[in-house]
Structures are given as C-alpha cells and as structure tokens.
Amino acid sequence: MTTLRIATRRSRLALWQAEHIAARLRSLQAGLAVELVPMSTRGDELLDQRLDNVGGKGLFVKELETAMSEGRAELAVHSMKDMPAELPPGFVLAAITAREDPRDAFVSSKYRNLAEMPAGATIGTSSLRRSAQIAERHPGLQVRLLRGNVDTRLAKLDRGEYDAVVLAAAGLERLGLAARITARLETGEMLPAPGQGALGVECLAASAEVRRLLDRLADKASSLCVRAERAVSLALGGSCTLPLGAYARRTQGNRLRLQGLIASADGKRVLRSELEGGAADPEAIGRGVAQELRRQGADEILAELGK
C-alpha cells in the first residue's frame, strides 16, 4: 500500500479534519502518499431546510461511502456527531480518534451567555437537540434555523441576522477560531450530541490492510465513551436528527458514567437518564440509559417526532 485516498466534504472544517488524519497516516508509514478527494454532499447543498426534514445527517455521509464502494477512495473522515448510529453493510468505523472539547459553544458579540439574552432575542442553530434544550431553559428566546458551514454561520451572525449562535466548540478550535467563543456551555446546561468532539475514520470492512493501519489512529478512552453514547441513539431508533444528547466520561476503576437526554422538538418535555457501568461493555451502558428514557416516556416523544 503506497497511496491512500480520503473522501471528504469540501467545507474548510472537513478539509482540515481530513488533512489532520492524512498527516497522522503519513507519520505512521514512511513513503505513504495520502491524497484528499473533496466532494459535495446532499447535506451541503440543501441549506434552506432542516436536516430532519430531508433525510438527516446521513446526507453528509452517503456520497463519501459511494466513493469508497466505487474504488475512488479508501477511507473517509467524519465528525462523529454527524455519523449515523448504524453504518450500511460493508462499511466499518475503523478508528475513533482522541476527543477534543465535546461542549457546545455560545457565540455572540452582544451577550455573554444564554441567560443574559432577553426575551425575543434570536439564536441560530441547525440542531433540534440544541434548540430543544435552549427552549426548555430559555423559552422566551427565538430559536431560528441556521445552516451552512462554520464560516457561513459566523458571517450571518456578524451581519446581524442573529443575536447569537451555538456551534461545536471543537470545530471552532480546529479552524483557529477559539477566540470567537463567548462561553462554553457545560454539559449540565447543554448535553452534547453523541460523539461530539471526536473524529471517525470509515472504510470498507473488507479492506484488511487499511483497517490495520487505521487501527493505530484509535484512542481507546475516547472510543469507549463514544461507543456508549452512540448506543443510546441506536437503541432509540438510530436517527441522528433526534433531539437527543449523550455524553460519557471515564471514572475511577475502569468505569464509564453516561448521561442521556431526549426531548420533544419544542423543549416542553425533556427526559434525562444517567448510568455508570464497567467500561468493558460500553454499549450495555448505552442501552441501559435508553431503557430508562423509554421507561420515562421516550416512545411517546419518538411517536410525536414520527420516528
């Protein structure tokens, strides 16, 4: 194996993430050439609609998987928060890298935090998870749809189209935009999406040589936490457009503590669960959190959302 091709979206953040993985791969194998194969996805093109109305975050992934299945690329790099809970047959998540800041970031030039925003102020996000949690704690705010890449969203904020926006802190940091963060939203205020802050590397399940190389990129601690978080989503239907949050962290004695949340779209009903268990079976912890959310009434919320 002398050359690897990485399928990636064309956004500045996606290209940064792909090049980051490319550099790590080059350092692992002397003489290995790694090329990027940038492409546009349906998720990048449908900017005037909510993702939950047009097919979900899988719209950011499908074209990259097609490129791999057709032999135009050997792997793809994704933000784990954009990865569907279940991969299509023939594909495998070969590595989850060390996680960066999993929190959401509040960005505004007018207000220091969400609590300071007055009733009627506008806040932009494309995420039902974020909008539901904002609506629960700050019902007077106007949450408005905000799609596009990071630079586009910040430009809309700077033009005064919104009073504040909420973005992933890790994405801003990767682009050298950490100075734009007004406040980092602690997980008790805004539970992150499953896998937020981590990168995932996907390839064909049959590509044994590629899988062996990618395995060297994996971070064990981050992988365990992300697997637990994704298990919550999978147990509740697998849709990454749900108003669902999940966040796991390592505790003493090789254990994981996992928080999970599912909400109605309007934030008027928010269910929460928390469970600790052995890190040897992170999926079992995720299923346990999902089971408790179902006991509280998650199925009613899922029915309302049409999931």
H-type alpha helices, 70-207? 128-137, 150-158, 169-174
Residue 266 counted as domain residue: yes
Q: Which listed residue (82, 101, 104, 163) is catalytic?
A: 82
Percent of the chain with pLDDT over 90: 85
The number of domains in the chain is 3
Residue 193 counted as domain residue: no
Does the annotation count 104 as an active-site position?
A: no
- Is residue 305 scored above 60 in pLDDT? yes
Same domain? 163 vs 246: no
250-282 pLDDT, tens digit per residue, is: 999 999 999 999 999 999 999 999 999 999 999
User: What does the pLDDT average to over 275-292?
Assistant: 97
Q: Which of 281, 285, 219, 231 is CA-nearest to residue 86?
A: 231
| Domain ranges, residue 153 | 104-185
What is the domain-level CATH number for residue 71? 3.40.190.10
- Between the alpha carbon of residue 6 and those of residues 216, 295, 303, the distances in Å are 17, 42, 38
Q: Which of 233, 231, 219, 216 is CA-nearest to residue 277?
A: 231
Residue 272 counted as domain residue: yes
Same domain? 68 vs 91: yes
Chain mean position to CA 239: 12
Residue 37 counted as domain residue: yes
Note the pLDDT of residue 52: 53
Same domain? 85 vs 116: no
Q: What is the C-alpha separation between 196 and 245, in angstroms, rounded?
A: 10
Note the pLDDT of residue 67: 95
Same domain? 68 vs 210: yes
Provide the pLDDT confidence category of residue 43 given band limits of 50, 70 and 90.
low
Q: Residue holding tokens 């995720």?
A: 286
Note the pLDDT of residue 263: 96
Note the pLDDT of residue 18: 98
Same domain? 270 vs 286: yes
Same domain? 212 vs 94: yes
User: What does the pLDDT average to over 14-20?
Assistant: 97
Mean model confidence pLDDT for the chain: 93
Tokens read off for 199: 């990168």
What is the domain-level CATH number for residue 256? 3.30.160.40
109-134 pLDDT, tens digit per residue, is: 999 999 999 999 999 998 999 999 99
Same domain? 160 vs 51: no
